[in-house]
Structure 1
């Protein structure tokens, strides 16, 4: 059973004794190759099984047209997962990459190439990062309806750091390429 921790409580790290705050994080999931729904559900399950990660919400699933992808790219299934975590952003990124690898994600020099699974960190608390390996907040998420719409569904009061309410950002994006899939639902405990 997964417990939802109080976001105002600080946990002690059992190995080092260091105090680490619990941060709210937003992760975007996407898949346009293979068993798309199974990949998204597998990502949710893997996140739920991650120590120091507590899933607090999972959005509805959307089918979306590829954005900035090669011409042969097929439609995506997308969702957003809200978590509370005491993991450092870099460790959470390592976990996201490991989950992608577990679902046979092939990395390519082709930008936005089709993929079995994409797990993007959108926001991790108030953490900022401009490193090549970790950009926070995600530099393009505020322009993408396939991130903003499911995020708003699961957290109607969501705020994008430095840019304001997700609802306002969504009003400025084109939602014509996304469709709610009422017949699909991700499960979490």
Structure 2
């Protein structure tokens, strides 16, 4: 059985647009998953230290038959393969960040994984791309995506393209 899993993608180092394209290609190749949709790409102001480049962000939808921690391990391997170095500094610059935003209708609170992703409701760079591909989504905790969008202004974002999936044959 598969579940709809939404993945947040972000990069602000080493050619961020290329990093996101490479990550999407890697997501399309994950076993027991199928890449179904990808939002537009957006640039956003960084969280944390202001002396870093703007981020490029997107959200992808996977049909996934993997368990959550197995998927998390696969995502972290993609990050490592693309040069991600985990540092103690939170919200610092990075080549690639892949976050599980939602995993079906599951509520998870484990040491390595919290779903829905923490602070999802306050991050325009997650909510607006998510809304592009999720429509009338209701989160596992009952909140409506439309309500979260209404409370989170489109500030600090710039939409880059509507064609993030042109070269991704597995995305539908």
TM range (shorter): over 0.9
1:44 is aligned to 2:43: no
* Structure 1 match to 2:159: 180
Q: 1:75 aligns with which of 40, 45, 54?
A: 54
Query: Is the contact made by 1:142 and 1:160 (CA closer than 8 Å) also made in structure 2?
Result: no
1:63 is aligned to 2:36: no
Give the TM-score, by structure 2 length.
0.92
Give the TM-score, by structure 1 length.
0.84
1:90 is aligned to 2:45: no
SS in 1 for 2:98: strand
* Structure 2 match to 1:53: 33
Please list every run of 5 or more consecutive structure 1 residues that lacks an aligned counterpart in the other structure: 1-20
Distance 1:50-1:183 versus aligned 2 partners, 3 A rule = closer
Please list every run of 5 or more consecutive structure 2 residues that lacks an aligned counterpart in the other structure: none
Bigger shift: residues 128-137 or 25-34: 128-137
The count of corresponding residues between Structure 1 and Structure 2 is: 168
Q: 2:5 aligns with which of 6, 17, 25?
A: 25
How far apart are residue 103 of structure 1 and its match? Answer: 0.7
1:168 is aligned to 2:155: no
> Using CA pairs below 8 Å that are at least 6 residues apart, which structure has the higher relative contact order?
2
How far apart are residue 126 of structure 1 and its match? Answer: 2.0
Q: Aligned partners of 2:104, 2:146: CA distance in 1, in Å?
A: 19
How far apart are residue 108 of structure 1 and its match? Answer: 0.9
